[in-house]
Structure 1
């Protein structure tokens, strides 16, 4: 008769969802251990960060276009970009909202080459912005009409914030966000609890929790 070894990892049903979500339990296991709840939180954060970045880029093009209109720049050069940016912003906002009720399938993972926390995103954006402004500021100071260069500098700042700072902030808060939303959103909590009783451990993700 073959006897299965006893697993060192407790089954998902050995604790309630609230117990698995507990921050003190998460602290006991460190930040690097793999669990289904962390897989869910990280995947949701990655997807949310992507749509938030597109939303910010689209909104930035609209804001920059309005500024250019206000200072008298001919609209033919940037109004089409404003329209495209507005469409991207609206579509991204819709997809961003859909992430609220989304649970990734087991094994779903996303990777990013960017910063994984707000501090890293700020450093990356500030470094690039500073390096480019070393060459841009002398042109702004010496230009007879500095408005186009100032607009270019403002647009660069908005792009860097959209691409580096916003996604990094969302990714860095992904697990905290899932814990907060599960406490506030009964539908999400019910979906997580259903996942708790139906999920099975794997080699890469041996535990349901902690978060």
Structure 2
């Protein structure tokens, strides 16, 4: 029972910020729910895999380098702002960028992964203290929690007040949130010093 509670707390505490980001993705009509869910699973599973490996070689991974993942949401945010500016300058047909399904899924996965430096920072020492069967149980609980997170974000994105706000301002809010998230990750992990 203690392992279950620890797993839920570890997941919730490191992914609470993902709820808002997932809501933005679910509310964005360019993203299909399957793409968001699959991207979230890919991103979290990648974080878990790196944490597993990191728990084996944790002495060699500096948190500052992990924090450089914060550059990914900054990139996606800047790209979103550029697209928004282009959209205003061009007509709707010209401004729409054709993106394949896998690119949308990978965008969600990349943002999830980039937002996960805190996950890695928590999961590595946590995994380092667990036996293999405990790690398997914890990962299974994490996989269930991803579904819970996606369901909660999807539900909240459909709530009329939230959905209307996101629908009206989401295309503006999302790039700003991504840039702020990236800067926060870089700041919290003390990675800014590595950039200059």
Give the TM-score, by structure 2 length: 0.32
Which structure's residues are more often helix, by fraction?
Answer: 2
Rg larger in structure: 1
